[in-house]
Structure 1
Amino acid sequence: MKKSDRSVTIKDIAREAGVSISTVSFAFNGTAPVAQETKERIFEVIKRLNYQPNSAARGLVTRKTNNICLFTPHPASDFFSFSGNSVFSDLLQGIGDVLDQRDYNLLIAWDNLGHKAKTPKLVKLMRERAMDGVLIALPSHDSSVIEELSEHQFPMVIVGTNDRKNQINSVDVDNYDIGYRNTKHMLGLGHSRIAFISPGPLEFLVCEDRLEGYRDALQEAGIKYREDYVFIGDEKEHSGYRAASSFLSLKETPTAVVSGRDIQAVGVLEYARENGLSVPNDLALISFENTELAQKYNITSSTTDLYEIGKEGAKLLHKVLTRKKDRSAQNVVIASELIIRSSCGAKPKS
């Protein structure tokens, strides 16, 4: 074969090796048995002609794209301000590390209209076979897209939300349990007037789950739930400051606060400092996330490892894609640990 500027095709390989195009495809992709001598001849030609396979064409044969899609809400939505850029990047890194090891490409898609669109973007990607599977970061209650993908038995895993009710593969921490345990920790230290700061709007499942855990721990202890002891926060330090201001302006002030996130807890500390209050003597404090802020400000905090959630989500999706038999959905719960520091009043573990 004469050298030219055009790319070498599978037809060229077949002609040089003296076999059919399908035999070259079977040898290259391992989709059917090929005699060892024939296979060696084909690969000698591939090496000699420096054949570079076209991934799109290969996908038509194998019905695989080696693309995994991470589907998220629009970057301008409340989800991203709620999660914070660093939290999302941790999730992304966990996913990327696993997919890179397994030679998958990561696509990121979002939908401006979501379920209001006539045909949601994720459904279009599925129908166009643009991806082999999808990881879904869906923080709200809307599950219409998930339901449609489920009907087509399309491989998917939900990350950052536990979906045990709908029997869909999911990976998350148990936010209900963490909310419950954080509140129980404060009850165990003798507090009965315990306030709660939500990490964000209650439309997000993580916020609803943590609040429900808080309420159930109080109810179990025979303590009445108080609306004025609950503050809907956001991703800013000032929301913790405003929450503390609201709680401590009440006639019957709380003696402890379960903060929805570490940055809010920093705001609570700032308010206490400005108003001459001692933490934990006047106001005990516990939080979620266990970020660098918790370590810097000695805040007792429960771990919620987004990197681990992303990593385990990608591993579970790969397992779904490669296993030969259908299995029931797996709901992987990432373990959370309470790191005790000085802010709650308990003695830190050595």
Structure 2
Amino acid sequence: MVTIKDIAREAGVSISTVSFAFNGTAPVAPETKARIMEVIKRLNYQPNSAARGLVTRKTNTVCLFTPHPATDFFSFSGNNNFNDLLQGIGEVLDHKDYNLLLAWDSLGHKTKTPKLVKLMRERAMDGVLICLPEHDFQTIEELTEQNFPVVIVGSNSQANRVNSVDVDNYEISYKNTRHLLGLGHRRIAFISPGPLNYLVCEDRYEGFKDAMEEAGLRLRDDYLYIGDEKEQSGYKAAERFLTLKEPPTALVAGRDAQAVGVIDYARAHGVSVPSDLAIVSFENSAAAVKYGISSATTNLYEIGKEGARLMLKLLGRKKDRAPQNVVIPSELVVRESCGGHADALKDDAAAAAD
């Protein structure tokens, strides 16, 4: 194996000069640098990444920190949305020769020193993308106090405090609900995509709630169901809602998988969608196309790409700047499940403006 000592001897320079030329950590005369790089290429020198990291204080690794994959809200298996997020992040980082580290805390495991803080202190990563945080911001605050690069992907609840990339989940849910209201529905139920302590779930519920209250409608506890990422949670939600003495005529599903579960229940029990029950959802996934579900785009691929790009910006900056909050555009794609049509969105937007 060729070492840095071999390069230095062959080029007739010191080891530190080779390091300066290769890593760009100090100026080297152009002709000397050219000679060193020629030797590196000729001898096919491959630097030791660990040793290089000691010199540059960089790992060329970004961590994606996610919820534990066994929660009621999140799993890796069969989760196409997470795959889209991962692909967007990976494409950008790979183009800049960065590695991606995937990490999470053990389910329900609370330690004195959280894993992210340990990874920072051990210099295992140069920055962290945090996916779908809960309300506990203590760890994020500890990282930012140390000026450690942090980007939250999938939430903008810390806008103006922490760098973030997301769709506006509150606004999407508000518009989804307004769309159903515009179609004449007043008994509208809501299926949360997960526990409300997850910020994306809270944002979507708050958007629903505010739209209902602005319409002068009372929120009903029996019209709220806390679901998860599985179709079965939509099936169970429909079973609860549609056996009520006064069932809803419409619902906002927190994710497309839940909407599919609702449709499966409706088909099995002779409930017509959308005549008896209108449905709008989030994600605009392949399932939404297959089942004819009206669904708002929440492009996790673009969120991943923009999150990674923002992280690379942070890693390349020499001076601190105000946090940047990127919002990915979204639209409701209207299909058969709500009984409406695209023009209804324009009419609703005009009414809201008035």
TM-score by length of 2: 0.91
1:306 maps to a residue whose letter is L
- Say if 2:318 is the partner of 1:332: no
- Say if 2:306 is the partner of 1:312: yes
Q: How does 1:115-126 map to 2 (within 5 A)?
A: 116-126=110-120
**Aligned equivalent of 2:285, options 285, 291, 297:** 291
- Say if 2:19 is the partner of 1:21: no
Which residue in the other structure is 1:3 paired with?
Answer: none
Measured in 2, the distance between the counterparts of 1:114 and 1:125 equals 19
- Say if 2:228 is the partner of 1:238: no
SS at match of 2:74: helix
Q: Deviations over 1:132-187 (max 9, x none)?
A: 11111143212221111111110111111213356101111111111111000001
Measured in 2, the distance between the counterparts of 1:128 and 1:105 equals 17
Q: Structure 1: give runs of 5+ residues left out of the alignment.
A: 1-6
Measured in 1, the distance between the counterparts of 2:285 and 2:236 equals 21
Which residue in the other structure is 1:264 paired with?
Answer: 258
Asked if structure 1 preserves the Cα contact closer than 8 Å seen for 2:76 and 2:82, the reply is no
Give how far 1:114 is off: 7.1
1:299 maps to a residue whose letter is I
**Aligned equivalent of 2:212, options 210, 213, 218:** 218
1:126 maps to a residue whose letter is M
Query: Displaced runs of 4+ in structure 1, greater than 6 A?
Result: none
Q: For residues 144 and 82 of structure 1, do their structure 2 counterparts lie closer, same or farther at Cα, with a shift above 3 Å needed? A: farther
Give how far 1:256 is off: 1.0
**Aligned equivalent of 2:50, options 46, 50, 56:** 56
1:179 maps to a residue whose letter is S
Asked if structure 2 preserves the Cα contact closer than 8 Å seen for 1:82 and 1:235, the reply is no
Of residues 295-304 and 198-207 in structure 1, the stretch that sits farther from structure 2 once superposed is: 198-207
2:71 maps to a residue whose letter is S
Asked if structure 2 preserves the Cα contact closer than 8 Å seen for 1:82 and 1:200, the reply is no
2:284 maps to a residue whose letter is N
**Aligned equivalent of 1:342, options 315, 336, 339:** 336
Asked if structure 1 preserves the Cα contact closer than 8 Å seen for 2:281 and 2:293, the reply is yes
Give how far 1:326 is off: 1.6
Asked if structure 1 preserves the Cα contact closer than 8 Å seen for 2:160 and 2:323, the reply is no
Which residue in the other structure is 2:221 paired with?
Answer: 227
Which residue in the other structure is 2:158 paired with?
Answer: 164
Measured in 2, the distance between the counterparts of 1:152 and 1:198 equals 35
Q: For the pair shown, which has the larger CA radius of gyration, 1 or 2?
A: 1
SS at match of 2:329: coil
Q: For residues 115 and 48 of structure 1, do their structure 2 counterparts lie closer, same or farther at Cα, with a shift above 3 Å needed? A: same
Q: For residues 271 and 285 of structure 1, do their structure 2 counterparts lie closer, same or farther at Cα, with a shift above 3 Å needed? A: same
RMSD of aligned alpha carbons: 1.9
Of residues 315-324 and 239-248 in structure 1, the stretch that sits farther from structure 2 once superposed is: 239-248
Measured in 2, the distance between the counterparts of 1:348 and 1:166 equals 34
SS at match of 1:69: strand
1:38 maps to a residue whose letter is T
Q: For residues 236 and 130 of structure 1, do their structure 2 counterparts lie closer, same or farther at Cα, with a shift above 3 Å needed? A: closer
Which residue in the other structure is 1:44 paired with?
Answer: 38
Which residue in the other structure is 1:73 paired with?
Answer: 67
